[in-house]
Structure 1
């Protein structure tokens, strides 16, 4: 779940989020076509750009930042159930 708090901790490798980031980075860069890590976007900045850690910016993500979006939610379910 990507918001500004998580993103700040992930980018600076602080606390548990920092440890999690180290694990995720290995998977993202070591296996670029993997799809087991799906960023869920729950916040956008004032320019309407998704707030995600740097290492996830190029990854496919699911945007749940607006009010309930059935299309995005169904994409997430499909990805989870097919993998």
Structure 2
């Protein structure tokens, strides 16, 4: 299991390096393909982080909690599970 965690951490490091290449460039200077790549890499990072948390804790991570604009506008401060 530790070998798997090490591989996921390595993949996370490499994914973050790739993302930084696009992050430092303004979106107006990126091609449509590069913008798509940036979104895919971002999604990969999220998936790897989720999996790593699951592997390290031995259970499914808790869902992220978000405050939507709609609940804020209505004066309600309810946390909506994403």
TM-score in terms of structure 1 length: 0.27
More helix by share: 2
Larger RCO (CA under 8 A, 6+ residues apart): 1
TM-score in terms of structure 2 length: 0.27
